């Protein structure tokens, strides 16, 4: 997913111009189409398929180190590298809509190649600027593989990886591990820092003491490049690897927090609660469900928060945390909802079905697979859906829920697939492989 190349001068000039007089001059510039925030330059966000300036985001406080670096710089000429949004992350943006600007192939793709690791690949891949693919494996490694399926480099952690890589504006890769650490790795492959989440007595292995501080959640990159993840609470970490704040919860936070343009964090927790935490790290509200919340929240254009729970329900909450509706499915929900531009909400559950749900909370359609669904669906530019199932298949559905095609792999597909600009699909499987699916 190559970011369109433009001259640095043009970007800087536009930034200065827009910051100074955008309300009068630049409001009509660049009606750039986008599928997620990472398609938009500078601090703009993707709203209804267009890159727009977010007043909240542009007012976001920069971390102390960034402020220090900028000492003496003209106030309006922020270096683009300090203000650009993240390039990619789990669900493709901090609002977690799961939208891709590309198109799922109309014809059934073939397996172009597989890259074998030493453990199941549950992590969802991240596409880098040079078209290489980053992902984690239960063999404890972060891998970066070329689009032809050859290894570029890998980095060893000391426990299994569920986390999906996030990529910052400067190319820094962030990934969590069950060794209770969040890692920041530069494109040069140098480890910039690692941050220990919590103070669990045992970092690696299984059991409550070893798993409470696992870094499985996201990470999610928010305004100002702040990194959000979970463990024994919700964590906000500055781009220099220092703690911004920690919010204590009553259980493990295993899914990626969603982050609003003003820095408000929405996260689910195994203490059955959905939390909203303000940019200062204090609680705004919580909402109690009837089970663990391991689904990652997704936030629509009107601010509705969609999140599933092990109580089998998909919840739609208003921005103030009040219930709009709850839709009951047949089993636990661990996947994150995909929010189509049409308003349709697509989410799979342990009852093996993908649900298409209307914004009013009524059912549009269901599609049955052969086993549990953990994978979160990607929704493409035309509303088609792409996801995996534990029946070992990757499915593509039309926007109305009819099957387009499916491809059989050799193990559960709990990883959430990603789609490159050329239509190649990358997804991991419990058979320990990363797959590239491409129409020949
Ligand atoms: Ca651990
Ligand atoms: Ca619980
Ligand atoms: Ca299976």
Same domain, 57 and 149: no
The pLDDT value recorded for residue 36 is 55
Contact call for residues 204 and 158 (beta carbons, < 8 A): yes
Contact call for residues 237 and 229 (beta carbons, < 8 A): yes
Same domain, 173 and 263: yes
Q: What is the pLDDT of residues 130-185, one digit of tens each?
A: 999 999 999 999 999 999 999 999 999 999 999 999 999 999 999 999 999 999 99
Q: What is the mean pLDDT of residues 370-376?
A: 98
The pLDDT value recorded for residue 209 is 82
Q: Does position 223 have pLDDT exceeding 50, yes or no?
A: yes
Q: Using the mean position of ligand 1's atoms as its centre, give its distance from the Cα of residue 195 in Å.
A: 13
Same domain, 78 and 155: no
Q: How confident is the model at residue 8 (pLDDT cuts 50, 70, 90)?
A: very low
Q: Using the mean position of ligand 2's atoms as its centre, give its distance from the Cα of residue 271 in Å.
A: 4
Q: What is the pLDDT of residues 43-77, one digit of tens each?
A: 445 554 544 444 333 223 333 333 323 333 333 33
The pLDDT value recorded for residue 80 is 38
The pLDDT value recorded for residue 301 is 96
Q: Using the mean position of ligand 2's atoms as its centre, give its distance from the Cα of residue 143 in Å.
A: 33
The pLDDT value recorded for residue 76 is 35
Q: How confident is the model at residue 84 (pLDDT cuts 50, 70, 90)?
A: low
Provide the 10 A C-beta neighbour count for residue 61.
14
Last-in-domain residue among 83, 111, 134: 83
Same domain, 320 and 427: yes
Q: Taking the CA of residue 341 as centre, how many other CA atoms within 13 Å lie in the half-sphere pointing to its CB? A: 17
Domain residues for the domain of 17 are 8-83
Give CA–CA dist 393/409, Å, rounded.
6
297 part of a folded domain: yes
Ion ligand 2 nearby residues (CB, 5 A): 270, 272, 292
Cβ neighbours for 100, distance < 8 A, ≥ 6 positions apart: 35, 36, 92, 378, 379, 380, 381, 418, 419
DSSP conformation letters of 72-109: TS-TT---HHHHPPPSB-GGGSTT---B-SS---SSPP
1 part of a folded domain: no
Which of 337, 338, 354 is CA-nearest to residue 393? Answer: 354
Q: What is the CATH number of the domain that holds 388?
A: 2.130.10.10
348 part of a folded domain: yes
Q: Does position 41 have pLDDT exceeding 90, yes or no?
A: no
Q: What is the pLDDT of residues 327-348, one digit of tens each?
A: 999 999 999 999 999 999 999 9
Same domain, 348 and 201: yes
- How many structural domains are present in the chain? 2
Q: Does position 6 have pLDDT exceeding 90, yes or no?
A: no
Contact call for residues 104 and 419 (beta carbons, < 8 A): yes
The pLDDT value recorded for residue 400 is 98
Q: Using the mean position of ligand 2's atoms as its centre, give its distance from the Cα of residue 322 in Å.
A: 20
pLDDT above 70 coverage of the chain, percent: 81
The pLDDT value recorded for residue 208 is 81
Contact call for residues 166 and 227 (beta carbons, < 8 A): yes
Same domain, 99 and 61: no
Give CA–CA dist 348/337, Å, rounded.
8
3 part of a folded domain: no
Ligand nearest to the CA of 412: 3
Last-in-domain residue among 28, 54, 83: 83
Same domain, 65 and 112: no
Ligand nearest to the CA of 212: 1
Ligand nearest to the CA of 214: 1
Contact call for residues 283 and 78 (beta carbons, < 8 A): no
Q: Phi and psi at residue 349, in whole multiples of 5°?
A: -135, 180
Q: For residues 258 and 20, which has the higher predicted lDDT (pLDDT)?
A: 258
Mean pLDDT of the chain: 86
Q: Is 143 helix (H, G, I), strand (E, B) or coil?
A: strand
109 part of a folded domain: yes
Q: Does position 207 have pLDDT exceeding 80, yes or no?
A: yes
169 part of a folded domain: yes
Q: Using the mean position of ligand 1's atoms as its centre, give its distance from the Cα of residue 230 in Å.
A: 12
pLDDT above 90 coverage of the chain, percent: 78
Q: How confident is the model at residue 277 (pLDDT cuts 50, 70, 90)?
A: very high
3-state SS of the chain: helix, strand, coil percent to 5? 10, 35, 55
Last-in-domain residue among 27, 51, 83: 83
Ligand nearest to the CA of 253: 2
The pLDDT value recorded for residue 12 is 43
Same domain, 103 and 151: yes
Same domain, 330 and 434: yes
Ion ligand 1 nearby residues (CB, 5 A): 178, 180, 210, 214
Contact call for residues 293 and 255 (beta carbons, < 8 A): yes
Q: Using the mean position of ligand 2's atoms as its centre, give its distance from the Cα of residue 217 in Å.
A: 17
Same domain, 146 and 258: yes
**Ramachandran assignment for 212, one of left (phi > 0), alpha (psi -120 to 50 degrees), beta (any other):** alpha
2 part of a folded domain: no
What's the whole-model pTM score?
Answer: 0.82
Q: What is the mean pLDDT of residues 345-354?
A: 98
Q: For residues 56 and 271, which has the higher predicted lDDT (pLDDT)?
A: 271
Same domain, 74 and 96: no
Ligand nearest to the CA of 163: 1
The pLDDT value recorded for residue 4 is 43
The pLDDT value recorded for residue 315 is 98
Q: Using the mean position of ligand 2's atoms as its centre, give its distance from the Cα of residue 294 in Å.
A: 10
Q: How confident is the model at residue 210 (pLDDT cuts 50, 70, 90)?
A: confident
Same domain, 302 and 335: yes
Q: For residues 427 and 201, which has the higher predicted lDDT (pLDDT)?
A: 427
Contact call for residues 127 and 421 (beta carbons, < 8 A): no
Give CA–CA dist 196/182, Å, rounded.
7
125 part of a folded domain: yes
The pLDDT value recorded for residue 55 is 34
Ligand nearest to the CA of 159: 1
Q: How confident is the model at residue 2 (pLDDT cuts 50, 70, 90)?
A: very low
Provide the 10 A C-beta neighbour count for residue 142.
24
The pLDDT value recorded for residue 22 is 37
Q: Taking the CA of residue 313 as centre, how many other CA atoms within 13 Å lie in the half-sphere pointing to its CB? A: 17
């Amino acid at each position: 997913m190559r970011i369109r190349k433009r001259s640095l001068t043009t970007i800087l000039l536009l930034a200065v111009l827009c910051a100074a007089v955008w309300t009068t001059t630049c409001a009509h510039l660049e009606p750039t189409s986008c599928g997620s925030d990472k398609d938009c330059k500078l601090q703009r966000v993707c709203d209804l398929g267009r890159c727009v300036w977010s007043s909240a985001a542009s007012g976001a406080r920069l971390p102390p180190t960034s402020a220090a670096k900028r000492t003496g710089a003209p106030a309006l000429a922020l270096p683009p590298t300090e203000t650009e949004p993240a390039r990619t992350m789990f669900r493709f943006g901090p609002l977690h809509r799961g939208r891709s600007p590309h198109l799922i192939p109309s014809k059934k793709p073939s397996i172009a190649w597989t890259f074998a690791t030493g453990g199941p690949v549950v992590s969802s891949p991240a596409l880098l600027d040079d078209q290489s693919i980053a992902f984690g494996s239960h063999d404890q490694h972060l891998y970066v593989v070329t689009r032809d399926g050859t290894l570029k480099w890998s980095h060893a952690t000391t426990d299994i990886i569920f986390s999906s890589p996030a990529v910052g504006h400067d190319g820094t890769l962030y990934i969590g591990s069950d060794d209770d650490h969040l890692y920041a790795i530069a494109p040069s492959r140098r480890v910039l820092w690692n941050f220990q989440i919590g103070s669990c007595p045992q970092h690696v292995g299984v059991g409550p003491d070893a798993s409470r501080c696992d870094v499985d959640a996201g990470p999610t990159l928010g305004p100002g490049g702040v990194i959000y993840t979970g463990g024994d609470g919700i964590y906000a970490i500055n781009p220099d690897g220092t703690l911004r704040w920690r919010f204590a919860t009553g259980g493990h936070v295993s899914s990626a927090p969603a982050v609003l343009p003003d820095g408000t964090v929405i996260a689910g927790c195994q203490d059955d609660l959905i939390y909203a935490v303000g940019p200062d790290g204090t609680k705004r509200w919580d909402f109690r469900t009837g089970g663990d919340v391991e689904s990652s929240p997704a936030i629509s254009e009107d601010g509705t928060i969609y999140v599933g729970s092990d109580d089998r329900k998909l919840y739609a909450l208003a921005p103030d945390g009040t219930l709009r509706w709850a839709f009951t499915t047949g089993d636990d929900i661990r996947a994150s909802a995909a929010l189509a531009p049409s308003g349709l909400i697509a989410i799979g559950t342990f009852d093996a079905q993908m649900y298409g749900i209307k914004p009013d909370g009524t059912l549009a359609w269901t599609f049955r697979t052969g086993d549990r669904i953990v994978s979160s669906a990607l929704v493409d530019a035309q509303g088609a859906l792409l996801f995996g199932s534990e029946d070992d298949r990757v499915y593509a559905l039309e926007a109305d829920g009819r099957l387009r095609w499916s491809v059989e792999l050799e193990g559960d597909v709990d990883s959430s697939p990603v789609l490159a600009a050329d239509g190649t699909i990358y997804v991991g499987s419990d058979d320990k492989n990363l797959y590239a699916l491409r129409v020949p």
